[in-house]
Structure 1
């Protein structure tokens, strides 16, 4: 690991120092990679069922395709067999039927006989993952990745980035008209991750500073003012939409209320951004680490074991009471990733405790040793559920949780992974 100071700060007994734990992480990551390989379909990747098989009507999903491309490109950099063809398939798919070759940008699903899909809106959430995928594929040297990244950044900058606001706009019609009257924390959070990766790959520091502007608005302003509980939904005048999706509390991307899993996910990203700025420029705003600590504790205090059973629940209301008690796998993955990051950054024993506690929870309840992969969602009693997420679509969150503890906080995954075994 090329992260000397944090490595020295780790307690001698930390799991992050132990060879058997590091090998266990590696093994779990490789199992996840193998489980998701059958998700390949003609125009990209599609969701798998609980049994790890494609559904009979499986259709490529652009967000999954971008995430799979990113993951398999990074895994390819580690020399893992079978990953290169999958990453190459992802790049080809993103340059093929998933792309709008008339107006630019990407659809959520493939074109049909050359015509746009039924839902043809261009989403910031998807385009952030395409930028991330393209940057990782470029590091891996995949054919077409350079051109994909150039196209993705042109679209991202021209249509989604709002220089005046310092955030990414949310969505447009296929021809880039009809901008949505909405500003979302979720899409911007993943844009921070993608911006850091793009900055590392292109050498253009402007993307890193855009990540900082996004984080400052959403976290150092809105979250801090709310006691480090972050509203997710705003209109274009930056008024909080408190009733947004009150009738859809289990929405997978824009649920009602607040999401403790995002509090801890932002905490991890703030520490990565701080490390990236220190690594490249020698200085970073002190609030990045301060806010990361507060966000992590807010997320765990408001979301962990709120109803008696272990696990980080999905959403809370404005009085910080549980709304959706179910435990999505990604919330647990991001919580332990944040705990590992804080442990590296501070050396405090409380983060070692959380890191071990969350892995014990995942190992006990979520790792599916019968059908493979991770169970994507548990109910309030920790039994499998599909109220929010059906099947086993996601590799991205779980796999990154297995590799994040092995890597330095900066640079980003695709660039840092080359340091893992050196």
Structure 2
């Protein structure tokens, strides 16, 4: 696999742009520190405060632990204790000491005792980054998360992740989700680097073959999100709840961009490991990016990427979410590195200009997480500012190679003195 040095002037090679990304990352990290709670990390409001009734969430705790670990790996002071706090929470109140695995909230105080693949993928990602950061307790957390994935979630026959179970693992949900498998792919790339075990890259490719090279390719490279247990698409899923934050109706352009980037990371990781690597990984990534730009960007009379589309590729939920634009710019940077094609420079600059103008909140801190169809800040789907992970990765990915995975890449750069 080749990566290309663009023949034109690229922001990716501009020192000022690299410095801008680094400075924005520091601003994001400083804001997110306030999310610390005794039992993990919680959801910050629009002004960066914890509400009086804030509680620790496994998703945020795992994402914050992963993000703070990458900050620590770079040599930024003030984050080691936060990584340790996250690891302790994931090994303590967020974990089910009786049956294993992780609850959605500390001591399942939200009333949900189920176990879902989406959360467990993030626990594994957090643990892997904490191991790279050489933090105490991280290896035990990693071993525990791998054991749970191997024992309950990974289905060798399907080549994908099962979705969710009851607390005691006695009943499996009759559903398969592209979203949970996407984040499992992300986690598996990191696990391959941390464990030096290529089975994780084999598993990641099997997921991609099914969800993207199979189903998405047959749907004009717009990602089908919901399936039954036999992997038959559920096209009417959540038709009456189209703006669901995790399982929205229809297709989600933001996931198309995220998958495009992950395909390129998988390709680079497999090449780096000396594994047979199919040529369709890069072509599928290009088609995902192209078709989601076509149907998602500037399609309803205003700039920005809409949240969801129906099966005729018409906008359903026209809100613009910050994570979608983070993934779009990250995917553009990855395709630019992989191909050297100037069209991706155009998209990369366009997405960052939009985010700079509309999402970055220089008065209140961090980013607005959501805009309404007229690009005004709103809170209909994602109130507050709980998410560091997407914007932080968006300012890191353009500064890193496509492989190894992010925490490992940062550790190598820190050791070489290149960052």
Give the TM-score range, shorter chain. Answer: over 0.9
- The gaps in structure 2 that reach 5 residues or longer are none
Q: Is the 8 A contact 2:267 2:277 kept in 1?
A: yes
Q: Is the 8 A contact 1:192 1:211 kept in 2?
A: yes
CA distance in 2, matches of 1:211, 1:397: 21
Which of 255, 260, 263 is the matching residue for 2:248? 255
Q: TM-score, normalised by structure 1?
A: 0.97
Q: TM-score, normalised by structure 2?
A: 0.97
The match for 2:84 is 88
Which of 15, 19, 24 is the matching residue for 1:23? 19
Q: Is the 8 A contact 2:40 2:90 kept in 1?
A: yes
The match for 2:34 is 38
For residue 74 of structure 2, give the secondary structure of its aligned residue in structure 1.
coil
Which of 90, 101, 105 is the matching residue for 1:105? 101
The match for 1:348 is 341
CA 1:375–1:117: 2 relative to 1, 3 Å: closer
The match for 2:374 is 381
The match for 1:76 is 72
CA distance in 1, matches of 2:99, 2:158: 25
**What whole-Å deviation, never above 9, does each CA across 1:249-286 have from its counterpart, x for those lacking one?**
11100001110110111000000000000111154100
Shift of 1:12: 4.2
Structure 2 counterparts to residues 355-370 of structure 1, below 5 A: 355-370=348-363
Which of 126, 132, 137 is the matching residue for 2:130? 137
CA distance in 1, matches of 2:219, 2:362: 41
Q: Is the 8 A contact 2:132 2:411 kept in 1?
A: no
Which of 168, 173, 177 is the matching residue for 1:180? 173
For residue 212 of structure 1, give the secondary structure of its aligned residue in structure 2.
helix
For residue 107 of structure 2, give the secondary structure of its aligned residue in structure 1.
coil
**What whole-Å deviation, never above 9, does each CA across 1:46-85 have from its counterpart, x for those lacking one?**
0100001111100000000000000000110001111111
The match for 1:120 is 113
**What whole-Å deviation, never above 9, does each CA across 1:264-316 have from its counterpart, x for those lacking one?**
11000000000000111154100100100000011111100111211111000
Shift of 1:10: 2.3
The match for 1:210 is 203
CA distance in 1, matches of 2:16, 2:356: 16
Q: Is the 8 A contact 1:70 1:137 kept in 2?
A: yes
Shift of 1:117: 5.2
CA 1:125–1:317: 2 relative to 1, 3 Å: same
**What whole-Å deviation, never above 9, does each CA across 1:76-131 have from its counterpart, x for those lacking one?**
0001111111111000000000000111000000116xxx7510100100000000
The match for 1:316 is 309
CA distance in 1, matches of 2:80, 2:249: 39
After superposing on structure 2, the runs of 4+ consecutive aligned residues of structure 1 that deviate more than 6 Å are none
- The gaps in structure 1 that reach 5 residues or longer are none
Matched, 1:237 2:210: no
CA distance in 1, matches of 2:8, 2:90: 45
Q: Is the 8 A contact 2:8 2:342 kept in 1?
A: no
Structure 2 counterparts to residues 275-290 of structure 1, below 5 A: 275-281=268-274, 283-290=276-283
CA distance in 2, matches of 1:183, 1:382: 33
Q: Is the 8 A contact 1:107 1:117 kept in 2?
A: no
CA distance in 2, matches of 1:168, 1:128: 10
The match for 2:154 is 161
Shift of 1:411: 0.2
